[in-house]
Each structure stands twice: as structure tokens, then as C-alpha cells.
Structure 1
């Protein structure tokens, strides 16, 4: 620090009990650049300010800006004569990578102490990285606002807020936080045991003067889509059992379960201790009757990484590397009709992906199903990538995309295709509620619920694959998709085999991907990212690819199971 000009990473400053470490400190005499690095991204060419039109902080950026404001405050107290300018260093979604395989220069590795390490390619030079993918954004205006007005607490100045935190920390005094909807994401929530305490239960117990068992009751903020939870809590209503029907303002919708009706159904079933599912049967029956056989169920696996795998791509640009496609025929026959997986290193998969999807879905003219908005969002992203491409069949592919989708809000064009994908998630929301899901509509919550309720599904899927009138591209004929434990279904995702099943100790020691299994979308995109490194040997690569194929196939089979349940209850 005594040098006239120096750049220091994680420079440390301590004064009056306030301690910080700066990601990057660039010192040129008394002129200081304080640079805080974040994985968040912006489009640098479109960025103006992190303040909204009213001159207030953009909520999504508030924690990061307060972080930098605190750092600048501490440095300035240490060195009053320094001229400090504060910046955020962010991924630039407007930048384009000029280097293939840039990701392979930096491999993430877990250290023995469970910290994350980075293994850098030997001999790496700055010029090897090509054009920068990050951008440095001045946040001086935002920091001045924070330090002058402290917008998150109008009753304290910024300096008073820091002293408040400092004194509580030094004296080990717990900061009182009033009960509110933020409790839903409390990081100290765990079931208390002899070995550890649940900060959530301690906090609620002290404020409500209640015991642990009474705190475990369903909360008002756990009602699906409940926006009035803070209002109800302010009225002294903390649990669903305390909510009255007139608290909800129920607005019916003909033939469907409206959002407010759904909320009251959830609350009422809690209050009556009713664990049975609810259906809007006539509406569901009409919905199923509108579908055209054969039915096509599709699921995508995608990735959006900060460091593009190939040149010509942008940070956090969508990559579609896998799909699965099940067909259900009118006679009940189920066919795992097609699939696509591209894990080839250094290959941008999206255009081959959409070509393969086109070939898969054009084998019939039946209805197409997705679960939630993801698949529609992805084909919209590929549509934009095609527009900017020179692919010889781009017009044909764009026409196909428009035929199976509708435009998202930020598209230049408006369209809704003749075979626009039907959202099974919306069908669930409109016609079905099951207390077993605890208000969640995710497929990982809905699937166990329908398996628990359906005798048909239990009888069918406890049998081996060879006996259920279904085909598979990845599971053996003896595989069983459903097992019961104490009368409750074990999620089929938990029955997926481990990736390296049967490997000997030496082979396991040589594996570098540190992936044990693939049972959710996060694990799938992580696996794809690992396969973009040349160090992964062929045996490990094949095991991970097999795991990806099984997981994605199960996603579309899960959709089929939900359809079969709806068919059962409407028959």
C-alpha cells in the first residue's frame, strides 16, 4: 500500500471495528479505484443507472450497492486524503467472446477444506483471453445516495446504521427482526435437534411466546401466491388456521380454479385437516377433450454460463443441449420416441438442437406439451439467435419455432403457433390442487402427489418397464419407476441410479467432475458444463451422458404420469 502505483486483490482495511476486504483496489497515488466483482450481469451498452425513474435504488441491486458503499466508507476513514471512486465489475451480456474454449482456461475444483478453488491453465497470458467479457460500471451516484439518505432505514443515517450493526456484533447482541414474509426464506430455519438450534423457531417462539410444535403449523406466507401475508401478519394472523374467507377477496373464474379460489382451497383444507385433492372436473375434462392425439411431451435441458464455451457467443446466453420426447397414443401406449444430447466440446448446439426437435415433432400433428414457460422461452431465444445467424435453413427453422410457440414479451414480432405448446403446469394450476404439494406447482412436487393419490399409477409403475406398455431409450426392461415406503411413494427421481455405479475405487479416484448423480435441472446443467472440459476421460464422460439421458427421459415420463392421472380422475 505504500507504493505509489499498485493493484491489490482482496486488500484489507480495518478501523474502529469495521473490517473489509476489497476485491480489486487500484492505487495511483491518491487516486483509488475500488472495484467490487459480481457474477450478476448487465448489458453495458444499454445501462444508464442502478436508480429507477423515481431516483430510488433498484431493489435487485440494493445489497450489492450497500456492500460497495460500506467498503468506500471504511477506506475513506482509513485514508481521508484519498480520492476514491467505486465500481461494480459485472459480466457484460453485450460482449461477444472472441476465443473458443475460454472456459477450459479455468477449472473449478473443491479443496480439502470444502472451499472452491480455481485451476488455471499453465502458461496462460492475458492476451489468450481475447476481448473482455466483463465491464466496469461506476456506482458513484448510487453510493452518494446511500451514504447521504440511507434509503433502507430512514430512521438512521448510514453511519448510524453501521455503528448499530458493529455494536451488536461486538457485544454479541441478537438483532431483533419482526416476523414478516421474509421469514419464508430464513437461512436459520431447521428442525431443532439436541445438537443444534433452529434460529427460526427461537425467533418465532420468543415473539409469539409459543412452543415449537405450535410454530410448525402452516404459515400465512406459505399460501400459494399470497401477496397479503405482511398485511395479515400486521393484523396478528401468522398461521393459515387464523385466515378468514373474507381475508382473501375470492374472485371466481368460470370453469377453472382462480388464483384466489386456489388460495382459499389450500387454507380451507389446512383448517379442516382435509388431505384429499380438489379438482375442477368439468373444466379439466373439457381441457383434455380439446387435446389432439397422439400427445407429445417434451422437456429441455439448458445452460447459461458466464464464460461462453465457444467464440461468437455472449455471457449467460442460452444453450439448449438436450431434450426428451414421449408420445402417448390414444390406445394408452407410451413411446419414448426421441431424444437429443450434444455434449461435444466447443460446439454451439442450439441450431442442431432445433433441427432435431423439428424432425421429432413433425412425425405427427398431435398436441405438444411442456411444463411451465422454460421451453417456450428457449425456442424464443433460439429464434433470435437464428435471426442473427447465416444458417442456410434459418427461415425453415424460424417457421417451425413459430408453429410450436408464442412470442415472449421482448420479441420484435408477435405470433402464436397452430401447435403452440400446451403448458401442463398451467393445467395443474387451473384445475387441480392437492395438499400433498404444500402449495407448490413444480413437477417435483406434483409428481409425488399424483403418485400418492392414484391407484392406477401405483399399480402400473410398481411393475417393471417390460410390463407397462411403454418403451424407453435409456432404462432396462427390469427398471421399476415407483416404489412405496410406508405407503408413500418414493420420488422416481430418487430411484435414478448413481452415475458411477459399479466403478472400482481407482476409477472413482480418477474422476474429476465431482458429480454423484443427476436428479434435477441444476445438476444437469452442471454436468453439461463439466463435459465441456477436455480433461474428462471417455469412461467418465459416457457415465455422465447416460445419467443425463435417464434424467431428461424421466422428466417427460413424469409429465405423462400427470396426464394419466388426470385421465383417470375424469373418466
Structure 2
């Protein structure tokens, strides 16, 4: 039997839920996080930051062993630690069945700097960054702080004679990149023969122009964790939790930690496709073992599915998990005669779930009055953006917003749909934001019609670019700022206050106010609302099952014979599933020569990853154009999805 050691990553997993230790790393159990492109992109960014951090210690010694021979890793570490002064990357320590590897360990005699590198950002002037105003740990930072505490615990058990100081090394938002292309000096690739998956293009910090990282000393917090001042589980102190988790993990035994409302976000769930493939659900096993649930219990709708349900935790503790146990008092039902209140929307979902009623419900007259205020031609826009820990451009800060693409559809009063304009920056090293706004201004100045976004992203992005313009030397910055103010409302940390005369209408808010469809479940995301509308609307089904050439609409990126609506196994498919894979027509030799190593672009995570790949200066033009065209298809579909949703609402209000 292979060694079962409680590593720092598994300790962090147990802090989410100790039962996860039993399901992790077992191929027979589904794990939705493994399929999440956003999480994958975040992981890649973390490895890039780690490689930059190592450049701060040119004398550092890397312990690398791809076979993960724990004993050998510890032996290699101990040999280096015989020196009085040494810097080690990936130092390995084992105590009983606990095992950790540190990002950076600096040894000066018996004085140790333990440095944990993370891609998270911080403002050095934020006095409440880690500890809130009420004296508790800020929830988003807890996993990282407990991670460091676990490392220090193991190291101290191995070397009690050491004086250990603990630090987080993070992206410092007060610093700016001194060169263009900092991000691309740390290339993400499957070809890298190391743990991080990064090929480093430089050998010294001087070649990067310096660092955008900074250190935070966290000894006081780590002391508080060890002393029990800060806890994850109220009845479990720090050392007790380590012993409990390590014991059960070593024996590969299910701990039976009580199920709770937190199970809502468990990654060990199965999709119908995964169940058909024979994968197991850890989520189901917990509820079977602890609550005695039968197969039929899992088919019944639960409170986990209810949109924005803040009372769920309390009701879960009362045993009210299934929707059929909830009443109006549990929801706190308060109705608004003119639109959905939050509780009314929740109650509507509950009632329709109980009755398996998939008919759409709308506030017809109120929605019609809202729609009558919209001015034709209607403009639907969507942005693709990127925020990276290591900036792409000189003078930019970690996680500063990059807007690299937009799509723009129009709908005329007679129903004519046109993919009116689009923009994409796919040139490496070019900061696109100001050109992006110029092109958006040019596109939206062609008419005076209403402008639509879906959710708050576009408004936030334009507010961030507004601040960038304030700090810029662009000759037309006042003109661009005036344009941004005209189509947005002020948000974030901007001192000014405005609501533009042509302020974008949030189509997501329109949905939340006036429309519900059980096919949406508890989600209002565009990738949920669109398939729900298609499954409900005969008009959309009839129209979009036809090729583009027969619909009488324009497309800049799809062939005239393309049909948006497809049916598989009797089920209407989301148009996003019909997006073609990258390099669809390339032969094996061409594929072997690609440097992007991408498969498809069908969601925001893949889009931001693609933009990062487009910064590769050595990418062949043919490959660059293939990625560009795939991004254009994806973004065009986002604005067409908004058009389809609009058409569905119009259909309902005119019938």
C-alpha cells in the first residue's frame, strides 16, 4: 500500500470538510474542480508567481523529484540543511505521517524564514487585510494562514531548536511592472519537466526589472492559530485537528464529519454523464451514510438549489433540506405586485420544483412597460477580460484589468438582427484598454439606442478603465472618460458619482425582476438562462434550428450553413456546446507544432487563458489567427445569447 501522508494541500482540503480526505485522489469518485477552467487558470497564475519569487533568491537550491519519493525528498532537504546558511525551494519535512514542502525556506543558523508564495494580491496600506475590524480572521484568507501554520507545526516538530518566522509573499498592488511581457517570461506549458509546469525565460530578477511581489509577516496570526484563538471548527483546536485528520487519512477511513449547508459547494458530485460512466458521488455517499437517504431522496429538489438562499444553513440544521418541507414562513415570503422580490422568486422556484412545472412565469404587463422604454435599435454588448498576477504590460499593477475583446449585436425595431461590430486585441505586448474604449465608442455612437449588458461585469470594467484614463497621458482621455460616464454608473472606489444618460441596462436584472423558468434552477447566469429559453420557446426553437442564411441575420464569424440549435438524444443543447474545437481541421503534424496547447474556448476561463497564450511572441501566425477566430466565435455567441433572451421576453409580452 502506498504511503498515505497528510500533506499541506490535503490538510487544507480537510479544513473545507474532513470527509473530503476520503474521496480525494480516488479515480472512482467524480471531482468537479478538476474540470473547472477558472480554477486551472488560477493555478497556472500561482505557479508563475512562485517562479518569479524564486528569482529573489538567486542562491536558492531547488529540490525536485518527479517520482515523489517522500523519503528521498526529506533526505535531500536534510543534506542542504547541514549548511549554516542556505535557501531551499520545495524543502521537504516529514513528522510521523505529516508531510510538507515549503515554497521558500531561508536558513541563517537556527533562524528560519518560512515563506509561502500565493498569487493573491494585497494592498500594503490595508490595515484590515487579514484580520477584520471585529478581530477575526478574514474568511478568504483563512485557508492560506492555516496552511502556513500547518507547515510551521511540522517543521517545528522536526527541528524544535529553530526560531521560525512566517511570511506570505503576495502580488503587491502598489507595485508596477517595469517591463512589457513580464507574464510571458514564465511560460505555462505541458512540456515543462517540473512541478509548476512553468518554463522560466530569465535567470535573474534584473531581467524582469524587479518584482511585483511583497511580503507580509504573519507570526502573530500563526501563533493565534496554534493557541486556538482562531479556529476553522469551533470544537476542534489546531493540533487536535491535525491529529484527527492525519489518523483517518492514514487509515483511509471515512471520518463521518456531519453534513451541513456547506455541502452545497462539495466538488465530489456527479453529473448525469459521469454517473452513466460509473463514477461515484462522495456527496451522495455522505447523505446516504449519515441521513439514510435513498435514491428517491436525491431525485427530490433540495434547498441547496434555491437561488440566493441565505436561510438555508439554519433550516438545514432543523432538518428542512428538501423543498417539500419548506413553507412560506421558512422563506420569509414578501411579494411585490410589480416584480419578483427575492423571497417571491425563491418561493416560485420551490412551487415549480414541487410540481415539475417548466412553464415560464413573467410579470407580463410590468415587463412590457419596462421594454416599452427601450429605444431601438437595441445594442447588446459583451466583454472578454483578463486580470493577471504578473502584468502583461509595463507600468501596470498586479491584477489590473485588461479588456481585450468585445462583441456587439443590434436589433432593429423591425426585428432585424445584426452582428454590428467586434473588437479583439491579439497582438502580444500591446496594452489594449484605451483602443478598446475608442472602438466601443465608435460602435455605440452609430445609433442612440438602448445598450444592454448581462450582469455587472461590463460596468465594472469600464469604471476600472476610467481610472486608468485618469492616470494616463492619452490626448483624448477626456473624450473617452465622457463616453464612459455616458453609458455607465459610477462604482467601486471612484470618488465621482454619476449615472449616464445612456446607462447600460442589465439584462440579468431584468430576468431576476420579471422572469422565472424552472429550467434555470437557481441560476440566472446567461449560460443557464439561454438553454432555459430555448427549451421553453417554440419561436426560438423554430427560428434557430435553421441555418444562419435562412434566418435573415448577419454573423461575422460563423458560416451561413451553421445552425445554433441542435438536439442530442432528444434534448435541446446549449449553443455553447456547438462551438467548434480549436484546430479542428489541423493535421497531426500541425498540432504537434502548436505552442498554445489549447483545446477549445467555450467559457470565460478558457478565454482568459487564451489571451495569455496570445502574448507568446514566438507563436506562429497561423496558430495565433486560429485562437483569435475561436475567441471571436465565443464572444459573438455571448451577445447573440442576449439577443435570443430578449426575443423570448418579447415573445412572452406580445402573446
The answer to whether TM tops 0.5 is yes
- Point out which structure has higher relative CO (alpha carbons under 8 A, 6+ apart): 2
Q: Which residue of structure 1 aligns with residue 223 of structure 2?
A: 144
Aligned length: 570
Aligned mates of 1:156, 1:231 — CA distance in 2? 21
Length-normalised TM-score, structure 2: 0.85
Q: Which residue of structure 2 aligns with residue 536 of structure 1?
A: 619
Call closer, same or farther: CA 1:199–1:50 in 2, change over 3 Å. Answer: same
Aligned mates of 2:593, 2:129 — CA distance in 1? 48
The counterpart of 1:130, out of the listed 184, 209, 212, is: 209
**How far 1:169 sits from its partner (Å)?**
2.0
Worse-matched range after superposition: 539-548 or 191-200: 191-200
1:168 correspondence with 2:248: yes
Worse-matched range after superposition: 186-195 or 311-320: 186-195
SS in 1 for 2:197: strand
**How far 1:48 sits from its partner (Å)?**
5.4
SS in 2 for 1:543: helix
Q: Which residue of structure 1 aligns with residue 392 of structure 2?
A: 309
Structure 1 contact 103–309 (Cα < 8 Å) conserved: yes
The counterpart of 1:449, out of the listed 527, 532, 536, is: 532
SS in 2 for 1:84: strand
**How far 1:368 sits from its partner (Å)?**
0.2
**How far 1:254 sits from its partner (Å)?**
3.2
Q: Which residue of structure 1 aligns with residue 166 of structure 2?
A: 86
Structure 1 contact 110–116 (Cα < 8 Å) conserved: no
Worse-matched range after superposition: 426-435 or 149-158: 149-158
Aligned mates of 1:194, 1:482 — CA distance in 2? 26
Matches within 5 A, 1:307-386: 307-386=390-469
Aligned mates of 1:71, 1:190 — CA distance in 2? 33
SS in 1 for 2:380: strand
Matches within 5 A, 1:39-118: 39-47=119-127, 49-111=129-191, 117-118=197-198
Aligned mates of 2:128, 2:84 — CA distance in 1? 33
Q: Which residue of structure 1 aligns with residue 30 of structure 2?
A: none
Length-normalised TM-score, structure 1: 0.97
Call closer, same or farther: CA 1:194–1:411 in 2, change over 3 Å. Answer: closer
Structure 1 contact 307–315 (Cα < 8 Å) conserved: yes
What's the CA shift string for 1:111-137, capped at 9, x where partnerless?
59996511122x632210112111111
The counterpart of 1:414, out of the listed 479, 483, 497, is: 497
Aligned mates of 1:220, 1:67 — CA distance in 2? 32
**How far 1:223 sits from its partner (Å)?**
0.5
Worse-matched range after superposition: 244-253 or 208-217: 208-217
Structure 1 contact 179–233 (Cα < 8 Å) conserved: no
SS in 2 for 1:399: helix
What's the CA shift string for 1:311-355, capped at 9, x where partnerless?
111111100010011110001111111111111111100000000
What are structure 1's unaligned runs of at least 5 residues? none
1:249 correspondence with 2:332: yes
SS in 2 for 1:52: coil
Aligned mates of 2:632, 2:621 — CA distance in 1? 16
SS in 2 for 1:36: strand
Worse-matched range after superposition: 8-17 or 380-389: 8-17
Call closer, same or farther: CA 1:420–1:277 in 2, change over 3 Å. Answer: same
The two structures, once aligned, show a CA RMSD in angstroms of 1.7
**How far 1:195 sits from its partner (Å)?**
4.5
**How far 1:511 sits from its partner (Å)?**
1.0
Aligned mates of 2:173, 2:129 — CA distance in 1? 16
Structure 2 contact 192–199 (Cα < 8 Å) conserved: no
**How far 1:466 sits from its partner (Å)?**
1.5
Aligned mates of 1:552, 1:348 — CA distance in 2? 20
